[in-house]
Amino acid sequence: MTEAQTLADQAVPAHVPAHLVKPYDFRSGLGDRPQEAIAGLLDGPAVFWSPVRHVLDKGGAWVVTRSREAREVLANPEVYSSEIQGAFLKAISDDFHLGPLASDPPAHARYRTLINPLFTPKKMFELAPKIEAWCDELIDGFADRGRCDLVPEFADLFPTGIFVDLMGFPRERLAEFLKWNQDFIHGETPDQRLAGIKAITDFFAEIYENPKLAPSNSVVHYLLTSEPDGRPLSRGEFMGVVFLLFSAGLDTVVSSLGFTFRLLAENQELQAHLRANPAELPRHVEEMMRLFSPVTVQRTAVVDTELGGVTIKAGDRLAVSLACASRDPEAFPDPDQLDASRNPNPHLAFGFGIHRCAGAQLARRDIAIALERWFQRIPPFRLAPDSRITAAGGSVLCLDGVVLEWDRMQVPQ
């Protein structure tokens, strides 16, 4: 008997039919094209039980693969709760709370009311010059060299620098923040991931205890001085909301940049088309977000219910693969093809329902500006022969080893 079979025998609840048991952890066996690998689940049932999980909590979960079932889960918080419990929270502190991510109505509205003003269209428009300037500063570091290792030299640093400035954190600690987030999201062991979490939250706790560390025009100062529902955030609430913004603001855009630039490096015709037609960038960015949706989200059933013809019991965990749902052929014809003419394009890259990503507009703007500045500053780029692309799985998919090169003689002076 294999280890997976033994684990399955120990972890599968009695109400789970044997034919719906399939060990799957969103970390293993993904190759270097993880969305394509995960989309292979669409050849099976809409909902199946995996006795292994990709998060710190132990125990199995129902894996949701189809767009229809994913939307049903995400749109019904009274049935599928976002409250997160277990080892992840206990490792931080008893009062730690991830704000809107870990809240159901009515509490959820309090946190979204707090966060939504940070990401208005007006604020995103005003932020654009700073994003462009930071992008140019990074490009300056490698343009004349004729090549770059995309993730460590650009994709990691670009959204992180923007986020650090918004939050009011010291820019000189950028590398430190990056390491903490990498340990938390992609650490190879639970201990490494917990160490990343602790480093991040210890830093936030220091700011909470000494508010003078937060500049007056920063997001952190805003969170410290706001009083949603007439009371300030508790220590645990403050740390949780900042932690949520920190992790979501960094890793999702990093992931999207890696997949997007790889696609353009492999498809010179598409790259040339977008260089010649920059007005088409927004809808291409939207379609690339669908094609490379990176996140798997968690829910917990709070009542007995049925999903995709499967009996779900109260207390069952669910892992909703947005990568899989965004390639569902029932929702997206020719789902593995990039088709920027899709209209509408109801992908799930930013989630669905009340928990739809509040920072979606910032993510879109980051990616569009990155492409605009690269097209203006860098000649047609391609994958370098020494690229050794690998993928990291887990809650957020990402790439490493995307080495790009271009003709140095064509770099604008």
Dist. CA 138–CA 223, nearest whole Å: 29
CATH of the domain at 230: 1.10.630.10
Q: What is the pLDDT of residue 139?
A: 98
Q: What is the pLDDT of residue 244?
A: 83
Residues ≥6 apart with Cβ < 8 Å to 62: 47, 48, 49, 50, 307, 310, 312, 316, 317, 318, 319
Dist. CA 411–CA 408, nearest whole Å: 5
pTM: 0.91
Name the DSSP letter for residue 145. Answer: G
Dist. CA 115–CA 113, nearest whole Å: 6
Q: What is the pLDDT of residue 5?
A: 42
Q: Which residue has the tokens 């990343």?
A: 196
Neighbouring CB atoms inside 10 A of 8's CB total: 21
For residue 124, the enclosing domain spans 3-410
DSSP assignments along 22-74, one per residue? ----SSSS-TT-HHHHHHGGGGS-SEEEES--SSSS-S-EEEE-SHHHHHHHH
End-to-end CA, the chain: 64
Query: Position 29: which residue type?
Result: G
Domain count along the chain: 1
Q: What is the pLDDT of residue 56?
A: 64
With vertex at residue 251, the alpha carbon angle to CA 245 and CA 254, rounded to the nearest 5 degrees, is: 130
Q: What is the pLDDT of residue 393?
A: 86
For the packed helices 360-377 and 235-266, what is the interaxial angle rounded to 10 degrees?
40
Q: Answer for the pair 332, 326: CB distance below 8 angstroms, yes or no.
A: yes
Dist. CA 251–CA 230, nearest whole Å: 32
Name the DSSP letter for residue 155. Answer: I
Dist. CA 299–CA 311, nearest whole Å: 15
Please report, in tens digits, the pLDDT of each residue of the chain (413 residues total): 344 444 444 579 999 999 999 999 898 889 999 999 999 999 999 999 999 887 766 789 999 999 999 999 999 999 999 986 544 555 666 677 778 888 899 989 989 999 999 988 888 888 999 999 999 999 999 999 999 999 999 999 998 888 888 888 888 888 888 888 778 777 777 788 888 888 888 888 899 999 998 888 899 999 999 988 888 999 888 988 888 887 776 667 889 999 999 999 999 999 999 999 999 999 999 999 999 999 999 999 999 999 999 999 999 999 999 999 999 999 999 999 999 999 999 999 999 999 998 888 889 999 999 999 999 999 999 999 999 999 988 888 999 999 999 999 888 87
Q: What is the pLDDT of residue 55?
A: 74
Q: What is the pLDDT of residue 8?
A: 44
Q: What is the pLDDT of residue 220?
A: 92
Q: Answer for the pair 224, 214: CB distance below 8 angstroms, yes or no.
A: yes
Helix (H) or strand (E) holding 184: helix 174-186
Dist. CA 217–CA 219, nearest whole Å: 7
Q: Answer for the pair 32, 24: CB distance below 8 angstroms, yes or no.
A: no
Dist. CA 240–CA 218, nearest whole Å: 17
In three-state form (DSSP H/G/I as H, E/B as E, the rest C), the secondary structure along 256-316 is HHHHHHHHHHHCHHHHHHHHHCHHHHHHHHHHHHHHCCCEEEEEEECCCEEECCEEECCCC
* Tokens linked to 156: 């990691």
Q: What is the pLDDT of residue 92?
A: 65
